[in-house]
Amino acid sequence: MSVATEVRVPDIGDFVDVPIIEVHVKPGDRVNEDDPLLTLESDKATMDVPSPLAGVVREVPVKVGDQVSEGSLILQVEPGDGAVTQPPSLLEQQEQQPVERQQPVEQQEPLGQDVPGRQRTAAVTGPAADFAQTHAGPSVRRLAREFDLDLTAITGTGPKGRITKDDVLSFLKGPASTPAAAPTQGSGIPEIPVQDFSTFGSIEVKPLVRIKKLSGPHLHRSWLNIPHVTHHDDADITELDRYRKELDTAAKPDGYRVTLLSFLIKAVVSGLKRFPEVNSSLNTERDSLIFKQYYNIGIAVDTPDGLVVPVVRDADRKGITEISRELGEVSARAREGKLTGPDLQGGSFTISSLGGIGGTAFTPIVNAPEVAILGVVRAKTAPVWDGEQFVPRLILPLSLSYDHRVIDGALAARFTRHLVDLLSDVRRILL
């Protein structure tokens, strides 16, 4: 028998003495890496503590109601094989009977359609809700959004009336004697019908990586709740790129690179200061704006497992060199999977750059609760008329997606044009 590994509470920010509201494992259970071990709930947030390794749970010295802080011992895991089988998917848990292999596609049942034995009285009318006042953990909220359920209609059996996954699944199954309900009207966006793709040829099923499992619902929620509009413009960065290359050449011996992204961050900060609505968020009642007096810029970083968005804090107080060094460090940690919770929190505006790949323009999804996001693709050399002749200039396409409830078209155009003016004259960025 190998030596058990102590599992302690990871970095949870400034929270201390946070109560445990759920313990998901017991001695003898097998767990996979990243499986939730327990759930903590502070006065500001609910968070799951994942397992850092796969193996067998040997000791759980904590219980519901105990208070823990960063570094507190929560259990011991003997390293080894994780759970032998993966739990059934949400679809498998809810299927009343298997789909016939030869069943015509048009007769297959959509996921959102009512079937005998399933309650649908809790269907949400409209976009998925946040259930901010509901006593439930993140995984339960995610499950409710996936099945368009109103958590306020479900009775919780956990501590202090907390709604558990079992409560949601029991609600979905409903009493066996419940007759088929009439199709719910106005229950939001209909689900995509189920298809058995194996009837058309060989297939391979691979689970989504953890990052995509976490980011998918967030992106879906943002797209459904925010009226997106995208404004496009072009910046002439010919002179800026010449200066950038000079700085980059000087930086290489010191072990870092100077990329265009550093200049974009400085230009964005200038734009946020001039147009503070772009650095705001709607309050929960959607009747006022929260203006942020800080400039924390999120940067979408491509990793082997998907996109993550680490945050460059206080970008208004940092120069090109300091930002360039920080970008290099945070990008490396992102690709190695070593980012912590605080690295990903507190952003007020996001830049999504596809410059290393290509493209001509795109519509990035606003990173709610932010109200705008800047998309950048690869710069290209194009002929530009200077009044006498066409001359080659390096042109950078910019795409600003914004929340039309907060930002109108005129403001979006002015903000983007401000970025264009700054990027076209590097001296103005450095002021």
Answer positive or negative: Cα dihedral of 387, 391, 396, 398.
positive
**CA-to-CA distance for 220 and 56, rounded, in angstroms?**
35
Active site residues: 404
DSSP-derived 3-state class of residue 277 = helix
Structure tokens at 111: 């996921």
DSSP-derived 3-state class of residue 121 = coil
**CA-to-CA distance for 195 and 84, rounded, in angstroms?**
28
Structure tokens at 280: 């705001």
* Helix-then-strand count for the chain, H and E: 9, 19
β partners of residue 18: 68
β partners of residue 67: 19
**CA-to-CA distance for 389 and 57, rounded, in angstroms?**
74
Compute the C-alpha angle 399/400/404, nearest 5°: 140
DSSP-derived 3-state class of residue 351 = strand
Q: Are strands 46-50 and 36-41 parallel, antiparallel or unpaired?
A: antiparallel
**CA-to-CA distance for 333 and 342, rounded, in angstroms?**
13
